[in-house]
Amino acid sequence: MNVLERLDKSISLTSDERMLFDSVQSLAAKQIAPRAEHADRSCEFPWENVRAINELGLNAMFIPEAYGGAQLSYTAYLTCVREISKACASTGIVWATNYHAMKPLIDWGSEEQKSRLLPRIAGGGLAALAITEPGAGSDATGMKTTFREDGDEIVINGSKTFITNGDVADLFLLFGKWDGIAGAKESISVLILEKGTPGLSVVRLEEKMGTRASSTASLAFDNCRVPRSNLLREPGDGLKILFASLNKSRPSVAAHGLGIARAAFEDAVNYINERKQSGKRILEFQGIQFLLADLASELVLIESWLWQLAARVDAGEQDFGIDASILKYRATDLAMRMATEGVQLLGGYGYCKDYRMERLMRDAKITQIWEGTNQVHRQLVGRSFLQR
């Protein structure tokens, strides 16, 4: 058993969770990974993978039983994100986005909202998290989408850009500013928008460098009306919900990046064990051994931080924003480095599409950009040491 296999064995899972992890590993290797190349080339949304994931009932694992789910630990959820993303980064982010978008509803929604809306996702629906706008990226407080109260309805006007699952989602967790509350931060509010609402349109789908089979949509809201009962908490509660929710989605984005890193590492190790030059296997050269040692140790240490943080979240800890930022930028920087070194280790073959390393390098890049760019996370971590 190598050090990574030992690390996997040490993840704290119940016997049910371990069985599920084994099923997800098998699904990922036998069905999802073989479809990944076609999905990347064709940019076709991975519906077959979504169906296969739903046959295992995976959405249910992050939704409480009272709302149609069969909730397992956060640790178990993260193991599944990593395994699915290792097989196909597009499918990984499609599925993880369901969690990112619905966790705020689970944590902050009313009983009525959760009973009405969550069973759709538990049963296999797709969700989207809509924050970013053309003029509001790293600084979400610059968003311009407005929510105006009109009797017992809320009228939405504005737009969002770069929304994962934006063209296929059944439910959208949508952030905007409450008309009538002053202040860029104070006015931010959040509601659930349902698929098919009149006035909601998809205006553009991005053609991307990587994660090409996941859809990334620009949305427009033209006098969309949603019932007031779809508002989460009170007008103006959006920013605190946003911050609390991002803390839980950032380890998930880290697990996505670590899935890509694992795939790149395993492919590189297999290749340099086989490929010979100057009469030796590439891994027999000492310079390559040093490089591999550095990559393996970073992978082990960052994954260990992932599982440690996941266990703390499972134990009920709430104050882990900076810990999640450290994890997010180190895991995703490693994904990019691992894939780049992987291409280098495969030589010219790494640069060509016959091997998936080329795709992994393109897939890895976005992980450093979304869910808070890595510069922003470094700023948050550095700033946390400023003395008053």
Ligand X SMILES: Cc1cc2nc3c(=O)[nH]c(=O)nc-3n(C[C@H](O)[C@H](O)[C@H](O)COP(=O)(O)OP(=O)(O)OC[C@H]3O[C@@H](n4cnc5c(N)ncnc54)[C@H](O)[C@@H]3O)c2cc1C
Please give the residue ranges that form the binding site for ligand X (CB under 6 A).
Answer: 97, 129-132, 137-138, 162-164, 208, 216, 366, 369-370, 373, 375-376, 379
Closer to ligand X by CB, 126 or 130: give it. Answer: 130
Matching residue, tokens 């959040």: 190
> Do 215 and 168 touch, CB atoms closer than 8 A?
yes
Cβ atoms of 129 and 164 within 8 Å: the answer is yes
- We find the least distance from the C-beta atom of residue 110 to ligand X, in angstroms, to be 24
Residue with the CB atom nearest ligand X in the bound state: 137
What phi, psi does 26 have (nearest 5°)?
Answer: -70, -45
Alpha carbon distances (Å) from 43 to 49, 208, 227: 14, 9, 35
Closest approach of Cβ 76 to ligand X, in Å?
A: 23
Q: Which is nearer to ligand X, 76 or 105 (CB)?
A: 105
State which H helix or E strand residue 359 sits in: helix 357-367
* Beta bridge partners of residue 283, listed in sequence order: none
**Shortest distance, CB of residue 268 to ligand X, whole angstroms?**
25
Is residue 371 annotated as part of the catalytic site, yes or no?
yes
Mind giving me the DSSP string for 83-144? HHHHH-HHHHHHHHHHHHHHHHHHHH--HHHHHHHHHHHHTT--EEEE--BTTBSS-GGG--
- Residue 217 Cβ, how far from ligand X at the closest point, in Å? 9
- Give whichever of 72 and 217 is closer to ligand X, judged by the CB atom: 217
Q: Which is nearer to ligand X, 8 or 40 (CB)?
A: 40
Burial 249-262 (b: 16+ CB within 10 A, else e): bbbbbbbbbbbbbb
Of 31 and 141, CB closest to ligand X? 141
Least distance in Å: CB of 246 to ligand X? 10
- Positions annotated as catalytic residues are 371
